[in-house]
Homo-oligomer: A and B are copies of this chain.
């Protein structure tokens, strides 16, 4: 019998759902992919997910048993086992995903918000391996976050700690999907960056290769490509985005005085265009007791596997305890 332990990690996203068989050293041994958006019916999705899990479990080394399934999903609560009102998933309202998958497969099913899964993954396998106190920020379509305090992920009373993407950064600013105004997410996510670019172009008097792109087709990658090609407007858009994010991060440290900030997500592919202004404005806006000691780190995990590893880490985090949602 192998001394390693194994789990399944599920990265449930709006476009794709990736499932990986992971060992305790953080290696993804094999994986499968489902097209999330192809399953408007949640029952069909759960059937397909259970089948994929069964296939992966057949790859377990002889005699080995998987410890459980960990799912990282937007708007998921570890306490209820539900995905609740996720704007980017095909299923509306409250989906009791953990319970539904549990009915199909003989393994404990753990579930957590995707940004918290990312924090767990960095803590167990990544750049936060040696940290007890850090703030994880994920920059994608939206902004997620997870806080580690004294070596533990902060869940909060109802499992909704770490929603720092919804900090108000501009009073009465842009309308957010959450119904409030001026949230960080509306400025410093990939979609926020695009909104800034479009607003900037609409001011007119602007020479930019971004003007040639239909605003509906604009992506953060287009803005990045323009910046790389020397487009000044694209550079300004990154500078402004980095300023807002850097200042917001300098406010976040006021709550928990962390050792570091860890960033992850698609927008980081912009590299220095984003990170240089973030770091500059973060450091310049820190209160003096925090200055020159809180690095902004980026994920050290392989992009393709990071979210699977985060979800997998959730199973080890629970050390064989039954999922919290089962007690409800």
Chain A residues proximal to chain B, CB less than 8 Å: 84-85, 133, 147, 149-150, 152, 154-164, 166-171, 178-180, 247, 251-252, 254-259, 285, 287-290, 293
Contact = CB atoms under 8 A, between A and B. Distances in A.
Contacts of A285: 168, 180
A155 B159 CA distance: 22
Contact of A160 (B152, B161, B289): B289
28 contacts: A84-B289, A150-B152, A154-B255, A154-B256, A154-B257, A156-B257, A157-B259, A158-B257, A158-B289, A160-B257, A160-B289, A160-B290, A162-B255, A162-B257, A163-B257, A164-B254, A164-B255, A166-B254, A166-B287, A167-B254, A171-B247, A178-B287, A178-B288, A179-B288, A180-B285, A180-B287, A252-B255, A255-B255
A255 B167 CA distance: 9
A178 B288 CA distance: 8
A155 B257 contact: yes
Instruction: Kindly name the residue among A85, A147, A171 whose own CB sees the greatest number of chain B CB atoms within 10 A.
Output: A171
B287 A163 contact: yes
Contacts of A256: 147, 154, 156, 161, 255
A152 to B, nearest CB: 7
A285 B182 CA distance: 11
Given A133-B156, A288-B178, A251 B161 contact: no
Contacts of A156: 133, 256-258
Given A154-B149, A285-B180, A287-B178, A168 B247 contact: yes
Contacts of A158: 257, 289-290, 293
